[in-house]
Structure 1
Amino acid sequence: MEEKHVTCQGAICQCTYGSTTDKLKVYTQTKHYINDKNKDYKLVATHKELGTTFENNSFGSCSLRNRNPCTVSVTGWNGFYEKVTLEENGGKALLEDSTADCPTGGKGCIKIIFHGQQAELSKTNFHKVDSSICDAMNPTGDMEATQEMEEEIYDAE
């Protein structure tokens, strides 16, 4: 089975019939984060994110509405991860290939084009890296000096 990313708040979505993208907002739960060491903003998105659940609630102009403005209203999600249920909202996690339904565009017209996860480096990452591998991959950098500089920065905090 192919591995898929779990989708989180900030995921970029696009409608097949829209002219622009919009970012997903999570309103249904407040406890479960992913790739967010400070638990500030990367809430796990679930199939319970219905209605107006985007930053602008618009995908620009809609080709099905004679180029009039789109007004997003998610009526359901497809292709979410069935094996885990979040306790707070009873939701199933959305995956990077999940799609959403809209009353105007129909089933699966809204697609996730970027899942929203982004790795955050920490002090531990710099200490675990093998400097000889980094030097081979990036001959212009000095990994040992970078590690020392990062240690000074983190110690100052």
Structure 2
Amino acid sequence: MAQEHLVVQGATCQCNFGTATDKLKVLSQQKEYANDQNSAFKLIANTKDLGTTFEKNTFGSCSKQNNRVCTAVVSEWKHYFEEVVLSNGGKILLENSKATCPIGGPECIRIVLHGQSAELSKQNFKNAQPAVANALNPAVDLKEMDQPEEDIEGLIFQ
């Protein structure tokens, strides 16, 4: 298996027969988080997230229903991470996971964006290679970032 991101709340999904995307809401559990420094927003999506588990619960117009408004419903998930079971008994969804809708059929709903985002921390700056960091952002001097926190604050607030 190629390295794939696990899916978290806010992941963007789309149906093969719809005209719009919708964001996944994790309603099945409130314990396990990922990619969230404060453990408050990015709940891990899993195979127990069934039914109307999207923010708007629609993928726009459904071509399977003569372009009537879609009512997004998930009846099953496929292609999930088999080796970990969450506290609710669900298995973790991956960015290649697909859902079945009673109207669209098997695996018609796919994950477009997994929902994770990068959050910079002090450790990122400590691990950065100075030459690469300077090429990407010449306005930031990593040597200044390596100073103790009090010195950095003094540079900012003087």
| TM-score normalised by structure 1 residue count | 0.88
Provide the C-alpha distance between the structure 2 equivalents of 1:141 and 1:117, rounded to a whole number of angstroms.
Answer: 27
Provide the C-alpha distance between the structure 1 equivalents of 2:143 and 2:40, rounded to a whole number of angstroms.
Answer: 30
| Identity across the alignment (%) | 49
Q: Which residue of 2 aligns with 1:142?
A: 140
Matched, 1:47 2:71: no
| TM-score normalised by structure 2 residue count | 0.88
Q: Which residue of 1 aligns with 2:153?
A: 152
Matches for 1:4-153 after TM superposition, within 5 Å: 4-87=4-87, 89-138=88-137, 140-144=138-142, 147=145, 151-152=152-153
Provide the C-alpha distance between the structure 1 equivalents of 2:25 and 2:144, rounded to a whole number of angstroms.
Answer: 36
What is the letter of the counterpart of residue 121 of structure 1? L
What is the letter of the counterpart of residue 153 of structure 2? E
Distance 1:78 1:146, change over 3 A: farther
2:125 and 2:142 in contact (8 A); partners too: no
Where do 5+ consecutive residues of structure 2 fail to align? none
Provide the C-alpha distance between the structure 1 equivalents of 2:44 and 2:26, rounded to a whole number of angstroms.
Answer: 7
- 1:132: how far off? 2.7
Provide the C-alpha distance between the structure 1 equivalents of 2:122 and 2:28, rounded to a whole number of angstroms.
Answer: 32
- RMSD, matched Cα: 2.1
Where do 5+ consecutive residues of structure 1 fail to align? none
Provide the C-alpha distance between the structure 1 equivalents of 2:106 and 2:153, rounded to a whole number of angstroms.
Answer: 53
How many residues are aligned here?
152
Give the number of the structure whose residues are more often strand, by fraction: 2
